[in-house]
Structures are given as structure tokens and as C-alpha cells.
Structure 1
Amino acid sequence: MLLGALLGAGVPLAVLQAAVDAVSPEPVRLEVEKVRRGGFAAVRCHVVVADSTTHRTWRDVRTLLGAADLAPAVRDLALAVFARLAAAEGAVHGHPADEVHFHEVGALDAIADVVGVCAGVVHLGLHPGAAAAAQPAAQPGGLTVSPVAVGSGTVRSAHGVLAVPPPAVVELLRGAPSYAGPAGAPAQELCTPTGAALLTTLAAGWGPQPALRVCAVGVGAGGRDPAGHANVLRLLLGDPVDVAPRAGGPGGAPGAGDTTTEVVLETNVDDLDPRVWPGVLDALLAAGAADAWLTPVLMKKGRPAHTLSVLVVPARVAAVRDVVLRETSAIGLREHPVTKHALPRTLAGVDLDGHRVAVKLSTLDGRVVTAQPEWDDVARAATALGLPARTVLARAAALARDLLD
């Protein structure tokens, strides 16, 4: 389904095939078929392979990926998917991850599924880490995944008959929203371990569709066409848009600008080397945080500490949470929604002895009420002019006052 959705959304077949060819030790061919599911047009991508009885371990798959001529982002993403899958299989079967035999998952078609999807996601710039490489103004939101339909009933596997969802799917979706499936749907498996590993690795957030200006839609089809619902996975691509109430609109104070609901993540840390904090704040902003700051606090037993606070849009909460837990010594954090009121902002500029200094203007009720020189421009101008930064800042602020209403 994921391969079909990516193709339907505009990823060239050649991009997926080249990635599959790079990693597969045997010929694997991707074939595209236009189908209908539940009365809707969709794209099904067939992975055509010769019969094989090879069962590969996570170590085997890791070797294949490491030797493949793949783009680094594609390789890293595929490795992350298989590592997550191996960890889940190891947990449910009681084996170290490196010793896990993937059975169906180690087959060539499953390897092609994972590598092809990773190549398509990277082609679209939706992979984790793409936000850090993008221009700050773009504010990419990554992939938001809706609750996962897992199915019901039983399924036959290499380990015998298993209840749906299978143990590996349950382990992989731990902490992610899931449900049995559409009301009245026949009892069947709707999410495989491979699909669950892909979704949980790729997701930047979980929930309903965020506000988007949709520019492309891909509808990927599954092999079955059950009665009662369309067996498809839909991918919407678009640019984030601001649909917050405007000045005087519902939910907003008159003239107050934009009103949005965001999330604040907080944690108290008393055992982190303070030299690490600047890098932590940079990593949080690169992951999509709107702001991040530290507040000195005094904790129990008189220990000095810092409260780390991060403001972030809901779609980037998961990515930002991962940064906090990975880059700091925190062992937990708090999250709560907040209502944010932001004045409309534009950029202007002033000339200071031949050096342009950008000025951020904020308006209230249509009037410019603040005009603040951008510090980076002030610092560059001070260096170029050989003047103290505070002197250049004072001169730029004086010029900026002429922009006030």
C-alpha cells in the first residue's frame, strides 16, 4: 500500500526500482497496476520476485544494506526500520535482535518494500531529519499518521496461527494510536509488522490531518477488496497553512493576530554538564520547535537545576520529544497544550553606513507597535564597521523607531 501511495503521489517508479536494485541480491521487479478498491481508483505496486526459501537475520539484512549503493538518507532510514522490527521481534520471542530470523520479513519482497518506501519518502523530503536540512522558513511538518487499523481475527504465520494484531505489531505500535478497523469489516489482518515498523519509524506525529494546502494525493491499494470499506492507504502532500482565527475572528481577541494551540514540553534536569545545553537548544529548533529555553530552578535537597521548556506545534511533538530524551539526561517529561496568541509579523530593513539590518515589525489592529532589529544583522554590521555591538544596536533601534505608526 505504501509503495502504491508514493507512486500515486508522484514519486517516479525509477526512483523506487533503483533503490531496490541496489540492495537486492536477486532480481526484483516493481510493477504498477491501476485498480479500484471499494469503488475508488488506487495504485497497486506488485513486488515480483522468484521463489526463495532464504530466511535472513537482522545481521544479514544489515550487511545487505551496508554494502548497497544507496543514498545515505535512504540507507539510514531503512536501517532504522529494520532495527525497530528486529527489536520488536526479539522482544516478543525472547531473542537478541541480531539473532532474529525475519522469515517472511527477511524475504526479498519485504526488503524491497522497506527500501522502496524509504527511497520514496526521501525523494519527497518527508524523512526524519529533512526538517533540519530545509530552509528555516519552510517549516516542514514531516509525516502525520492517523490511527492505525490493525484488524481482527487470526492470521497464519511461520509461528502458527496468531491472534490479530500479531505480537510483533502490538510491540511496534506500543505508544501509537491504533484500533481494530472500520465497523463491520471482516476479520482479517490489516497491518503487518513491516507496515507497523515503517509507520512508527517515519511518523513525525500522530493524529488527524494537520492544516495543509494539498498539492498531491496518492492512494495505495492492498491486494484484497473486502466489502464495506476501501482497502487503501492515502497519502496527502501539501504545504502547512495557518488556519488560526484572525483578528476579531472566533476564538481570538480583537486585533490580537493569530491564535493557535501548541504544546509545551518540560523537564527538570539537575545532572547535565551546562556546556551541553547550547547544542540541545539548537537540536530542538532543528527538529521543528518554535522556541526552546532554560529556567534556573532549585529542586529538592537544595540542588540547582534547569527546567527545559520547548514550544512546538502538535505535528512535531514526537520528533522534539525524541531530541529531549536523546540529547539530555532527562528520564521523563511533561506535556500540556497551550493557547498561543501571536501578532502578525513582517520584515523591513534600515541602512546603517551601507550595511542592511533587518527589522521585525509586529502589528496590532493594523498599526505597527514594535520594530526590533535582528541581532544577527546587528552583530555582522558591528564586526564590519569595527564598532561595539551595543552601539550599532542603539543606532539601528533609533532608525527602526521611524517605522512605528
Structure 2
Amino acid sequence: MSDRHAWIDASAGVAGDMLLGALLDAGARLEAVQAAIDAVVPGSIRVSTTEVTRAGLRAGKAHVEAVTDSPPHRTWTSIRALLAGAALPAPVRERATAVFARLAGAEARVHGVEAGDVHFHEVGALDAIADVVGVCAALHDLGVTSVSCGPVALGSGHVRGAHGRLPVPVPAVAELSRGWRVVAGGPGELATPTGMALVRTLAEVCEDLPAMTLDAVGVGAGHRDRPDRANVVRVLLAAGNASGTEEAVQLEANVDDLDPRLWPGVLAGLLERGAGDAWLTPIVMKKGRPAHTLSVLCSPDHAERLRAYVFEHTSTLGVRESARRKTPLDRLFVTVRVRDTAIPVKVGHRNGVIVQAMPEFDDVAALARRLSLPERVVLQEAAAAASAAGYAAGARLRTP
């Protein structure tokens, strides 16, 4: 089954092995997880599962066993190289790399060092590599394409780590929790840096359980069995994006003194850095001055970076920010042949019916230049080729 949505219940906390156990309990194949881990650190880790009880509830427990004598501490630079050289499916590599990048950034900020030089100690040992790669492989095996998560319980009190006695949430977890709804949830360390990095990277939105038709539930156990609450993470799976909507942020700035020749580069730079869309609106400001409103639509995770880019590359003195929710169409790309040239076509669909089918204009324009034809002619031919192939508005979607 593909195109599934996963909602994570972290109301009792979250750790990497708990999330891995929940995904395996929900139906991810252990052999797929093991193969992905072996691709990154061959012959170093063995993963197994058992059934346990936590506060009287059945749960799956993921066991991660190092089978090498002295697993080395690693930097983010060395882990990134391992992931880049591993024979992994692209979605697994991209997700795992993004998780470790976020974890390294948090540790770097906490310890005042460069991210590439972060020595992970306990969060960079083999078990954490197994947790991160294993979770990403399990999501891929389950066909999960979107993830959301509820508020996360972080815990309270103190723990002892590699750098001495630390308050809970430990500094890296606190850093990773910025912008997410959290609660204490009880005494002790309930959320680990690896678990929080997985949530913050994989989950697109913090939301209570959305309306969804469940097709699988997985329960993953933590190490301790507490009498006051079930020490588990739950994963609820449903076909498709459960809510159909995504959280977004809209940044805006009014600018009346920027050389207009710079605007195309500003817009392109914003899109390259993760903006979902960026545009200009002509306005008239006080004293009749002509100006533009720069608007940037992005995910909450990209807002800080894009806000900094706006300040650096425009002359604005302030950026407004507002929360948005958007409802995107499901999308896929197909290719059609136009005069013996492959042209990509973006297909937007909903509930199995095509809503939009639009040839990629840059490819159309390139072909038009090569053939010395008007762009409108090649665009019409590409649209006709897409329609002839069955990709037209109102048609039932078929697998390309």
C-alpha cells in the first residue's frame, strides 16, 4: 500500500527505538529495516523484536544490538558520508540525512561548535544510526508519504549524560522542540534527542488526531515499564493524507526602494531555499510612492531561514508573518513525447480524478528555442500529447 499518512502519538514521550518498534508493530518488514541499516554500517547492528507489556498494554519492542566490539563515535560529517555512499532508496537516504542534519544543528547550537564537527557521543552511536535509518526505512516500506504528530511529552527533573547532570528536557531536546507543542508529561526524560529529531524532521504538522480511516495501528515500547502510564509511542496509519491540509506560514514585506532588476534573483533564491511559492504585488505606499509587497509561502520549518534571506537580500526593515493552512492536490510527474522529445507533465489529482495536467514550461520553452517555434505552439502540442495519453482534467488517474 502506498501514499499513506502516519499520525504519531507521542503523549508519553518519544525515542528512536520506540518509534521504530511502533512502525515494525504496524507492519513494516524487519528484513527491509535490517537491509537499510546494513547498507549504511554493514555487519555492525542486529535488529530484532519482541512483544512486551507496558502498564498492562501489549507493545512491540525493537532491540538494537551492536555486533562490533568498539563502535566509533562519529561526527555529522562522517555520518553524512556514510549515508551518501549507502545503497539506499532515495526517500530513505533523504529522510535519514535530514534527521541527522537537524540533530547535528541542535547539538551544534547547544555546544557552540560547527555542525560538521559535532561528536554525537551517545546520540551518534550505532544504535542511533539504526534508529534513524530504521525508522526511515520502515516508513518507506509501509508506503508512508506524509506524517503528522501530536504534542510531545518531554519529561521533567534531571538526568546524567556525557557532560554531567542535565535538566530535563535536556538542552538538545529543548532546542529541537522550538515551535512544537510540548508538555512535561511526568518525571524523568521522556523524549530523547534522536526521537525529537525524528518527529521534527518527519512530521509536517503538529496536530491532534486528524479525521482518518485507520488501516493499521502500531505500538512501540520504551525500556522502562512504569506503573503510572504506558511507556509507549503509537503510530496510526491511514490511506492518503488524512487531513488533506498542511500548515504553512506566509511572510510579507513592503519594499519601495529596491532596484527592480534584483527582484527576479530574490524570488528565485527564495524558491531554491525551500519556499513553496514567492511573488510580488504592486502597491502604492504613503505619499504616493510605488512599491511592491513581497509574499513568501513556506512550511513552518523553513520560515526562519527564509525570513533571514529576505532581510539579507532586500532593503526591508520588517517582515510580517501569519499562519496559513493550504490544501494541495496530490501530484505526480509523467512524461509525454513532443516531436521526439520527452516533456515532463505535472499532474494534480484528487480522489483518483485528474484535476490539472500542465506541461513543465521550462522544458517546453527549451524545445521551442531548439526548433525555432513559438512557445505557444509547443505548449499546445504538449497539452495535446498529455490528453492523448489519458492525462486530462476529469479523467481517472492511472499509474504511469
Normalised by the length of structure 2, the TM-score is: 0.65
The aligned counterpart of 1:220 is: 220
Q: Aligned match of 1:110 in 106, 128, 147?
A: 128
User: Is structure 2 residue 73 aligned with structure 1 residue 55?
Assistant: yes
Give the letter for the 1:108 counterpart.
L
Distance 1:327 1:13, change over 3 A: farther
SS class of match (1:273)? helix
Instruction: Report the 3-state secondary structure (helix = DSSP H, G, I; strand = E; otherwise coil) of the residue aligned with 1:212.
Output: coil
CA distance change for structure 1 residues 204 and 242 in 2, over 3 Å: closer, same or farther? closer
The reply on whether 1:318 has 2:304 as its aligned counterpart is: no
- With over 3 angstroms needed to count, the CA separation of the structure-2 counterparts of 1:380 and 1:231, relative to structure 1, is farther
Task: From the superposition, tell whether residues 61 and 242 of structure 1 become closer, same or farther in structure 2 (CA, over 3 Å).
Answer: closer
Aligned length: 308
Give 1:3's aligned residue.
20
Greater mean deviation of Cα atoms: 28-37 or 294-303: 294-303
Hey, what's the Cα distance between the residues in 2 that align with 1:105 and 1:374?
Answer: 45
Matched residue type, 2:182: S
AA of the residue aligned to 1:149: A
Equivalents in 2 of 1:12, 1:164: separation in Å? Answer: 34
Residue range with higher mean Cα deviation, 316-325 or 165-174: 316-325
Deviations 1:213-243 (A, max 9, x none): 2221111111111111111111111145679
Instruction: Name the aligned partner's letter for residue 161 of structure 1.
Output: R
The corresponding residue for 1:273 is 263
Relative to structure 1, is the Cα distance of residues 122 and 211 closer, same or farther in structure 2, using a 3 angstrom cutoff?
same
Partner of 1:156: 160
What pairs with 1:3-82 in structure 2 (closer than 5 Å)?
Answer: 3-50=20-67, 51-52=69-70, 54-82=72-100
- Find the residue that maps to 1:228 and give its secondary structure: coil
Contact in 2 for aligned 1:57/1:98 (Cα 8 Å): yes
Tell me which residue corresponds to 1:296: 282
SS in 2 for 1:113: helix
How far apart in 1 are the matches of 2:325 and 2:107? 38
Secondary structure in structure 2 of the residue aligned to 1:220 = strand
* Structure with larger Rg: 1
Taking the aligned partners of 2:233 and 2:148, their CA distance within structure 1 comes to 13
Contact 1:262-1:338 within 8 A present in 2 as well: yes
CA-to-aligned-CA distance 1:255-290 (integer Å, 9 cap, x gap): xxxxx99877351364562477599789999x6x9x
The structure-2 alpha-carbon separation of the partners of 1:155 and 1:70, relative to structure 1 and needing over 3 Å to count, comes to same
TM-score (norm 1): 0.65
Secondary structure at 1:194 match in 2: helix
Q: Distance in 2 between matches of 1:97 and 1:281?
A: 24
Mapping of residues 244-283 of structure 1, within 5 Å:
265-268=250-253, 270=255, 273-274=263-264
Aligned to 1:200: 200
Contact kept? 1:58, 1:100, Cα under 8 Å: yes
Identity of matched residues, %:
45
Distance 1:93 1:275, change over 3 A: closer
Cα distance change of structure 1 residues 375 and 6 upon mapping to structure 2, 3 Å threshold: closer
**Conserved in 2, the CA contact under 8 Å of 1:89 and 1:168?**
yes
Write the distance in 2 (CA, Å) between the matches of 1:7 and 1:96: 35
User: 93, 98, 105: which one pairs with 1:87?
Assistant: 105
User: Structure 2: how far apart are the matches of 1:118 and 1:242?
Assistant: 22
CA–CA separation in structure 1 for the residues paired with 2:71 and 2:272: 48
**Cα shift at 1:33:** 0.8
Alignment of 1:380-395 (within 5 A): 383=380
Q: Is the CA contact 1:154–1:188 (under 8 Å) kept in the aligned structure 2?
A: yes
Question: Is the contact between residue 149 and residue 179 of structure 1 (CA under 8 Å) also seen in structure 2?
Answer: yes
Which position in structure 1 is the counterpart of 2:340?
none
Decide which moves more: 264-273 or 87-96: 264-273
Query: Which residue number corresponds to residue 147 of structure 1?
Result: 151
- Report the AA paired with residue 284 of structure 2: L
CA contact (8 A) 1:211 1:240 kept: no
Query: Which gives a bigger RCO, structure 1 or 2 (Cα 8 Å, sep 6+)?
Result: 2
2:155 aligned counterpart, secondary structure: coil
Taking structure 1 as reference, are residues 55 and 376 closer, same or farther at Cα in structure 2, changes over 3 Å only? closer
Pick one of 275, 296, 305 that aligns with 2:292. 305
- Distance across 2 between alignment mates of 1:319 and 1:91: 17
CA contact (8 A) 2:104 2:115 kept: yes
**Hey, what's the Cα distance between the residues in 2 that align with 1:262 and 1:194?**
24
Provide closer, same or farther for how the CA distance between residues 25 and 104 of structure 1 changes in structure 2, counting only shifts above 3 A: farther
